[in-house]
Amino acid sequence: MSAPSRFDRGHTDDLMSFLAASPSPYHAVANAAERLEKAGFRQVAETDAWDGSSGGKYVLRGGALVAWYVPEGAAPHTPHRIIGAHTDSPNLRAKPQPDSGAHGWRQMAVEIYGGPLLNSWLDRDLGLAGRLTLRDGSSVLVNVDRPLLRVPQLAVHLDRSVSTEGLKLDKQRHLQPVWGVGDDVREGDLIAFLEQEAGLVAGSVAGWDIMVHPVEAPAYLGRDRELVAGPRMDNLLSVHAGTAALAAVATSGAPLAHIPVLAAFDHEENGSQSDSGADGPLLGTVLERSVFARGGSYEDRARSFAGTVCLSSDTGHAVHPNYAERHDPTHHPRVNGGPILKVNVNNRYATDGSGRAVFTAACEKAGVPFQTFVSNNSLPCGTTIGPITAARHGIKTVDIGVAILSMHSVRELCGADDPFHLANALVAFLED
């Protein structure tokens, strides 16, 4: 007998709201933290001494969040059940001197973050969002969520070869968005504009982490609204599902044999090597401090990590109807077919046979279907935070996710049922 479903289509509605409200990793973790606060979690500062009390706690570091729930009476060596995800998405980000322009156009100088599908950024209404750091070291979030910028495509009349040779974009010359007109480009204009938008005193900003985002809202798609189109599904879909699952488990009152954890990292799209990335010390430090705060020793820490399992949840590839030959011929994940188990024998994904058993048990308990993904042997395989987490912390890790189309596009596509299928499986995993 399968467990009753905790989440339904209302979860997908909430995902769409979460995507729209999270145009940057900083906004994503702030929104996740707000949801956890409503479930009784409290923020702890890394600079403070931690106590061993039970309940829900979380740490914020830049665009990363680690949250955990300690059940009453949890021993120092109690193992963890971890949901891993990442908060960043490929996009365009402001350069240190963002004010530029030419020929009567005012432009914003941008760098390319991660591996976006560049053509998907053309001719879209774009906003600006991110983090402003003030002179006193504090930070303020800013979100200009209205049409402000545009990367205009060259008219076909000026490049007839695009019809025969395809679109070719130079990352330096062709991706700089326009945001106004005028010949007088003044250094500091863009940041002054953002100070005004954030309600700050002029000249108070000393640093910034600002990025471009599409302002078109997520939407249901299809005859029966069985699809969802929206930005940043890779990988805020998993962050949202993990947040919802952790909050549900923490407020259920059910006895827990493990300590449930959500680890949402930044910088996965460019290698995870940062103080807030999966290849940094954040997760290990938080878990160790939690063990030691409950009176544990290094032996307790080793026992805890040895019994810990992580589900690394990231989006994967649904079979594309126009490019089916790019997929493995015997593995064709479909949207609304349930979450996918990702497998690669060269450890681009961390899943092995014992990990498959863990995930299978969670899906069966939740009563949700699941599928398996493996790459076509003739094409390179992507990777996730899964192998990094397994290698860095010695933690058994399983790579899973939701199958989507148009990965790394400004606007990605998933099945409307898959987000709540994933969330239900994550609840079952955390409760086990």
Share of the chain above pLDDT 90, in %: 95
Q: What is the pTM of this model?
A: 0.96
Residue 312 has pLDDT above 70, yes or no: yes
CA distance 72 to 255: 9
pLDDT tens for 214-249 read 999 999 999 999 999 999 999 999 999 999 999 999
pLDDT at residue 3 in the model: 45
Question: How does pLDDT run across 86-96, given as a tens digit for each residue?
Answer: 999 999 999 99
Average pLDDT, the chain: 96
What is the torsional sign of CA 344, 372, 3, 34? positive
Q: How confident is the model at residue 164 (pLDDT cuts 50, 70, 90)?
A: confident
> What Å distances lie between residue 9 and 16, 32, 424, CA to CA?
11, 19, 12
pLDDT digits (tens, 9 = 90+) for 8-35: 999 999 999 999 999 999 999 999 999 9
Q: Return the DSSP state at 46.
A: T
Is the C-alpha dihedral spanning 350, 354, 357, 359 positive or negative? negative
1 has a pLDDT exceeding 50: no
Residue 2: what pLDDT?
41
Residue length, the chain? Answer: 432
Region 293-322 average pLDDT: 97
DSSP string, 136-191: TS-EEEEEEEEEEEBBPPPPGGG-TTHHHH-----TTTS---EEEE-S---TTHHH
Confidence of residue 4 (pLDDT cuts 50, 70, 90): very low
For 396-406, the pLDDT digits (tens) are 999 999 999 99
Q: What is the pLDDT of residue 5?
A: 53
Which residues pair with residue 56 across a beta bridge?
69
pLDDT digits 0-9 by tens, 370-428: 999 999 999 999 999 999 999 999 999 999 999 999 999 999 999 999 999 999 999 99
Whose tokens are 């409950």? That residue is: 294
